[in-house]
Each structure stands twice: as structure tokens, then as C-alpha cells.
Structure 1
């Protein structure tokens, strides 16, 4: 029974991370930490790494700490919270950096309706080059209107 709890907790945290990502993207990345995010909104940024990649480190730290404290005296629930964050980070990387921005050329031609809607929503987000007037701050949960466009 405890395994079911751990699985549910991991999935719950994964889903909760979408809200955390939306909030962080809207109010922190497009707010007081815009300096680290602004190059991501510039078309044709020529470098392999962006200042925006700094946020991967910021999101990884809680997960790493939760792994540590979740295993220091045997396995406990903190490990599975850390796993939920890690799994979301992997999904974010695959969706945002690989599929949408194609920083790695792994999935160049997809015809999946969900993935096409996701790309459309993100393109709408990037049409705003400044930190103001943004929209579509989440990653995995996309409003239905972008599937109809």
C-alpha cells in the first residue's frame, strides 16, 4: 500500500510542477530575473547555452536536496517528491528544448495533434520579445484554443 502512495505522490508532484512552472515563468522569469531569461526570447540566439539555462540549475537543487533527505535514513516520501520534480524536469527538457526549440534535432517531424498545439502555444509566447504582455506561461497543459488554430 505504501508503494501506491509513493506513486500517487510522485505523479501529484509532477502535475503540481506545471503550476510551479507557470508561476515561476510568469512572475520570476518575466519579472525580477528577466536578465537570465531575456536571451531566450531573442530570435536566432547563436550560442549552445543560454543564460536561461540557469533555471535548470535552480529547479534541480530542490530535487537533489529531496533525494538526499529522502534517503539519508532509509527511503521516505521526500525521495518521491524529488522524483516528481526530476520527472517534470526531464519532460520539460524533452518538450521545451528538444521538441519546441529543437536545440537537439531528435523529433523534427511530428504530426501529433497535442505536440503541434503545444508548439503553437509556445510560439505565441515567444512572439513577445520583451518581458511584458506575455501569454502561455505553462509547458505541458495547453489551452484548447491552440489545438484549433
Structure 2
């Protein structure tokens, strides 16, 4: 049952990510997210990186309070959120934005579709503009671009 809770939480985080990205990060917290779009930061870190801590706090709280009750469902929801956060970091920061040179020349159609959809998201530098707010699930047209290639 605990693995099911983790898995469902992980899946629901994709929906939450879309909503948070579109309405919060491109909404009232645009001041933290803007430098991720306009690249106005010179250093290795952006204001956008504060979202790591903002999103980690609920997961930490859930795991803490869930562990006090002999590792109840709250703990496993926190684990699901944490696993999604780790996936987000590796795919978004390392793979897509190449903060570490990794999988730069991949030919994997799924990874290329994710990278392309994210590139489409970043072509808009304004707060109110945008598309592709999701992360692991992107519009089908991007998958078709890479899965329908003939070699």
C-alpha cells in the first residue's frame, strides 16, 4: 500500500506542477521565476532556485509528522513528493538546462520531446505568455516530432 501512495503522489505531482508553474510561478511569484526565463542572473544560481526550498518544506513536514505516527500515509506522501522533486532536478536542471554536461547528445525520443517542449516554454519571456507548463508529460505534438522519425 505504501508504494501505491508514493506512486499516486508522484503522478499527482505532475498535475500540481502544471498548476503551480502556470498560476504561481507565472503569477504572484513571478519575481522569483523571471530570471529563469530572461537569464538576468550572472552566477550559477537564480532566484528561481528558491523554489527548491519552498517546495521541499511541505515534503519535509509530511515526512516528519508521518514518522511520528509510525510512518503513516503522510510520510509516504512526503516520499512521493521528494522523489518527484529529485526527478525534476535531474531532468530539468541537469538534462534540460545542462547545469551539468549530461546526456547532451541523446537520441532518446522521449527525452528530446521533453527538451523541445521546455524550449517552447522558454521562448516566452513574459509573465502572462507561455505554453507547456508541465514537466514529464508534454503535448503529444512534441512526442510525434521525435517518435515518427524514420532513419
Tell me which interval the TM-score lies in, with the shorter structure as reference length. Answer: over 0.9
- Counterpart for residue 131 of structure 1: 127
- Counterpart for residue 28 of structure 1: 24
Q: How much does 1:21 deviate?
A: 0.6
Over residues 110-138 of structure 1, what are the superposed CA-to-partner deviations in whole Å (9 max), with x where a residue is unaligned? 11000000000000000001112200001
Structural mapping, 1:68-83, within 5 Å: 68-83=64-79
Q: Does 1:106 align with 2:109?
A: no
Structural mapping, 1:1-149, within 5 Å: 5-43=1-39, 45-149=41-145
TM-score calculated relative to the size of structure 2: 0.92
Unaligned runs of 5+ in 1: none
TM-score calculated relative to the size of structure 1: 0.93
**Count of aligned positions:** 145
Q: Which secondary structure state, in structure 2, belongs to the residue aligned with residue 37 of structure 1?
A: helix
Task: Note the aligned Cα RMSD (angstroms).
Answer: 1.2
Q: Which secondary structure state, in structure 2, belongs to the residue aligned with residue 71 of structure 1?
A: helix
Unaligned runs of 5+ in 2: 146-151
Q: Distance in 2 between matches of 1:88 and 1:127?
A: 25
